[in-house]
Structure 1
């Protein structure tokens, strides 16, 4: 079946999608049929960016077009996305493209699994298209034009034309070549052509592996710092003027915010993202961000290339003797390191001293005051065995966190996934806690044999409370040998808080001043006839507490009764 196919030659700038489209035209077959024949899968060769099943393709074509790595690095846009990654990452990506699925590759590259609304776009330069027609008789898609940061042809400085493919979301295996009769749309306007042209040139050089001596994170960082220094964004001590840098960057690219590929990167809240490219170049970042930063700091690829090449000579370790450098250490860092060693968390200390947590960790690491264990990115079998061993011994989760540098949530997941280990850990933890509390109580009794039960409770109240709840039988046995504290009680004479005798004299004086008065018709000969006629006293009279006043009132009542008779 393969022997009957007419296979075209593949040029340097031709994408693999163009090769498959040209093969489809020459043989009059659909994209699904061609892909099924050459790659063993109907959709593997119809993808616009990263084909899969490259091992099958190379073997079916007798390696006439090279090996999978040749196809991946020379006829796809993969080199653009791995330019600022380690060399072993490229091998992993090619291995994925040689297999049966590229969804994992898109995840590793930080790309969405599919185009928005299943609508794909292809770009071409009208002048390049006419040149291809003149030389080859047919036009094709150029790799450099398909880069996300290419809106202008890097050769002719013309705005690229964009063609939408698979607009209805169906027929995902459609193959297409550029044509004069296909409707297209210009993707940028004249006011941004010059800047977009410079960006396209930088993108094309990155695609063609033109980074001298390959990727080196330290070398790239030094090149960026050189560019910052030339632009006046560094202080005399080498610190980045962050606010000034972000303001200038946002203003410089303000007119590019309307272009979809730059809209998200150039939002005001995402501008600090560019600082990470300088401070931590070893991480993975969107390559478009690198393109924008290079264009902002250096303007042209040639200048950046020369600076990057110049910095490479400083990466050679020509002096094997250690160099001791005096590091200026802030007083706050010394205090933070001491408090962290005492058990305080770095996040709380960062809030107290108004540090960014990442900046604080970086400064502590450079000063050598604290050794900060980085959290493992993967839960390896070795780490899992270490966790299980610590759990078997009954250690507290906080102690396990400090040893393994793992989060509490990760350790909880290990516990929940191993019920037997969890039960054993709970038993061992209770035993370790019990032994610790017992030892604490025994040590206190040994040092202070004269202590009574109440003294012990006051000295180690937390331990006694735990033992009372979880080890009451043992605690009662210990209490039997401890005498109760003898308290000598002193009898205190009760002292009245109110001087009723003084009140009695005051009330009696007021009663004697009443004199003669007439009774109302409704009044009866009872003590209230006197009490209600008393002037305002400093207290409310209670006759049971006022014996003299009570006696005087009853004598008056008796006298009034005799007069009535």
Structure 2
């Protein structure tokens, strides 16, 4: 990198974003666009605070001045990716690593951070005590990873609330690398609450623990088993989400003081609705805070969860060729992978040798059609035949498990073997349904003649066809479109006479009211149709002349109001003073003409 002669030392818990800012400052790179061009190859590039992309380019540009061992080390120690990693799907994790190394602009969208309503970006935060200490010892401050984690509002070291700095995603700062304040008054600090400190400690602990990526199925199995052990399941094995939500909210004081309080407690009807998604929709990308809150409630500490994770599934095998897709921990023993196909070994023995679960071995052998020793105490071959028949009939695994009194995992193992047949049956059923729905739609088109009317009659039928058979639907609708509207020409002479007649009738009705308001052009047009008259005033000459004659000037109506006031004062027996008349008439002031008129009316009285 030409012109850069000094590489500052990397500090513990410092963001890569913070180090780049100090690097630019020490090398006098004041122009942020030039800095981005040198580091990322584009003047329009933006360096993300928490999940920066294009780290391979930064490493290549800096060469030996790069403060990390390599790009992977930078991702591990200079970004917040380790905080998100355990709670993303394996494919999303692979995508995230590729984007952070090679570059791209859709990383947070793919990770679900944009859609989960927790906020994909936030203002930078700092601890005033930490910053004051750094300025005194080093002469500069840094942005800490632990201070800028989502949901963290306090410094876990000094137990004080963090200060809010600049938001680098704002338009005025998007092209710059924001630096921490150079001056700080650490004397004015606020102590953190119990719930804020607990949540901050939990998030920082998850970041420092550096847990690996976890398969969603493995994760939800651990959640469900631990929930049952802790008494959060009923007799039928269903999770008691309401009880779980109440205990978590109580543990964190209702998330008081947290910027994410409203999102964590939503919705009003189903508080902490995201808890159900953690169990029912494991593939959905939920925010790490949701997982961490559940983990601490069920296990009490992250280390306990990590221990349970290591003992649950040491490795996950590819169902197709038996290779390791993702090693969560090292296998118990090194063993030839061919042991999984050795039928002289029981499924449990093979699982122990390979360091995998028994379910993995059973599923693999079922798919290959290998012999599996029957387990009479668990499930007989006759029951297996019945389960296959029920699955092919279209019944769900839950229904079969309940009716035949077998475990849900046993039904799913058998179902995995029949996946191809079930997919063919589903495709066949869909084609049959499509033929029926096509016939129904053609009948509707014959009855209603127009596609719009048919859609109004059967909106659910239209929606299904539009999702599953759009080409055929649009082709058929093309011949049943509603003919274009052909409105006749307007006879403006007759319309002009109609407006004049209506205006005179309306005027007589208004004049019959002794407490009427002033007759104005706006009043008449509102009654007749203001939009039509304003747009076609040139075609209505009679109405325009009539409006000029009927409208009352403000001065004329003021005299009418004076007459009303005088009559009211006489009726109530009050003196006919000018100030009383003015007040009762509601006039701001009396002109000379109005004063003369009022005196004449009083003299006549």
- Greater CA deviation, 181-190 or 252-261? 181-190
Shift of 1:109: 0.9
What residue in structure 2 maps to residue 474 of structure 1? none
Q: Does 1:412 align with 2:469?
A: yes
**Secondary structure in structure 2 of the residue aligned to 1:164:** coil
Q: Residue by residue, what CA displacement relative to the aligned partner does 1:257-291 show, whole Å, maximum 9, x if unpaired? A: 66332421321435242133245545432211011
Give the aligned CA root-mean-square deviation in angstroms: 5.0
Verify the 8 A CA contact 2:168 2:178 in the aligned structure 1. Answer: no
Shift of 1:216: 4.5
What residue in structure 2 maps to residue 55 of structure 1? 56
Shift of 1:115: 11
Q: Residue by residue, what CA displacement relative to the aligned partner does 1:357-381 show, whole Å, maximum 9, x if unpaired? A: xxxx9997478699677999xxxxx
What residue in structure 2 maps to residue 91 of structure 1? 94
Distance 2:300 2:158 in 1: 18
Shift of 1:32: 2.2
Distance 1:114 1:199 in 2: 19
Q: Does 1:267 align with 2:266?
A: yes
- Greater CA deviation, 27-36 or 319-328? 319-328
- Greater CA deviation, 234-243 or 78-87? 234-243
Distance 1:26 1:273 in 2: 46
Aligned in 2, Cα 1:304/1:99: closer, same or farther, shift over 3 Å? closer
What residue in structure 2 maps to residue 468 of structure 1? none
Verify the 8 A CA contact 1:221 1:281 in the aligned structure 2. Answer: yes
**Secondary structure in structure 1 of the residue aligned to 2:124:** strand
What residue in structure 2 maps to residue 433 of structure 1? none
What residue in structure 1 maps to residue 206 of structure 2? 206
Distance 1:179 1:173 in 2: 18
Structure 1: state its 5+ residue gaps.
Answer: 356-360, 377-382, 420-565
Matches for 1:382-421 after TM superposition, within 5 Å: 398-399=431-432, 409=466, 411-413=468-470
**Secondary structure in structure 2 of the residue aligned to 1:201:** helix
What residue in structure 1 maps to residue 559 of structure 2? none
Shift of 1:122: 0.6
Matches for 1:420-499 after TM superposition, within 5 Å: none
Q: Does 1:165 align with 2:167?
A: yes
Aligned in 2, Cα 1:215/1:7: closer, same or farther, shift over 3 Å? same
Q: Residue by residue, what CA displacement relative to the aligned partner does 1:446-466 show, whole Å, maximum 9, x if unpaired? A: xxxxxxxxxxxxxxxxxxxxx
**Secondary structure in structure 1 of the residue aligned to 2:264:** coil
Distance 1:31 1:52 in 2: 17
Distance 1:185 1:31 in 2: 33
Aligned in 2, Cα 1:77/1:210: closer, same or farther, shift over 3 Å? closer
- Greater CA deviation, 300-309 or 30-39? 300-309
Aligned in 2, Cα 1:251/1:187: closer, same or farther, shift over 3 Å? farther
**Secondary structure in structure 2 of the residue aligned to 1:246:** helix
Shift of 1:225: 4.0
Aligned in 2, Cα 1:243/1:180: closer, same or farther, shift over 3 Å? same
Residues matched between the structures, number: 382
Structure 2: state its 5+ residue gaps.
Answer: 316-330, 333-346, 351-371, 403-407, 436-463, 476-605
Shift of 1:2: 2.3
What residue in structure 1 maps to residue 195 of structure 2? 195
Distance 1:283 1:57 in 2: 32
Shift of 1:341: 5.8
What residue in structure 2 maps to residue 429 of structure 1? none
- Greater CA deviation, 108-117 or 256-265? 108-117
Matches for 1:307-346 after TM superposition, within 5 Å: 307-312=308-313, 318-320=348-350, 324=375
Distance 1:55 1:313 in 2: 31
Counterpart among 142, 145, 149 of residue 144 in structure 2: 142
**Secondary structure in structure 2 of the residue aligned to 1:291:** helix
Aligned in 2, Cα 1:414/1:237: closer, same or farther, shift over 3 Å? same
Aligned in 2, Cα 1:277/1:63: closer, same or farther, shift over 3 Å? farther
Shift of 1:150: 1.7
Distance 2:185 2:119 in 1: 20
**Secondary structure in structure 1 of the residue aligned to 2:349:** coil
Q: Residue by residue, what CA displacement relative to the aligned partner does 1:96-136 show, whole Å, maximum 9, x if unpaired? A: 233443x3111111122999999840112233324434554
Verify the 8 A CA contact 2:82 2:210 in the aligned structure 1. Answer: no
Distance 1:186 1:106 in 2: 36
Shift of 1:168: 6.7
Larger radius of gyration: 1
Verify the 8 A CA contact 1:151 1:187 in the aligned structure 2. Answer: no
Verify the 8 A CA contact 2:80 2:149 in the aligned structure 1. Answer: yes
Verify the 8 A CA contact 1:106 1:113 in the aligned structure 2. Answer: no
**Secondary structure in structure 2 of the residue aligned to 1:61:** helix
Shift of 1:3: 3.7
Verify the 8 A CA contact 1:18 1:141 in the aligned structure 2. Answer: yes
Aligned in 2, Cα 1:205/1:247: closer, same or farther, shift over 3 Å? closer
What residue in structure 2 maps to residue 67 of structure 1? 70
Distance 2:307 2:218 in 1: 12
Matches for 1:279-294 after TM superposition, within 5 Å: 279-294=280-295
Aligned in 2, Cα 1:275/1:116: closer, same or farther, shift over 3 Å? closer
What residue in structure 1 maps to residue 497 of structure 2? none
Verify the 8 A CA contact 1:8 1:23 in the aligned structure 2. Answer: yes
Distance 2:205 2:74 in 1: 18
Aligned in 2, Cα 1:3/1:262: closer, same or farther, shift over 3 Å? same
What residue in structure 1 maps to residue 367 of structure 2? none
**Secondary structure in structure 1 of the residue aligned to 2:59:** helix
What residue in structure 2 maps to residue 80 of structure 1? 83
Verify the 8 A CA contact 1:163 1:182 in the aligned structure 2. Answer: no
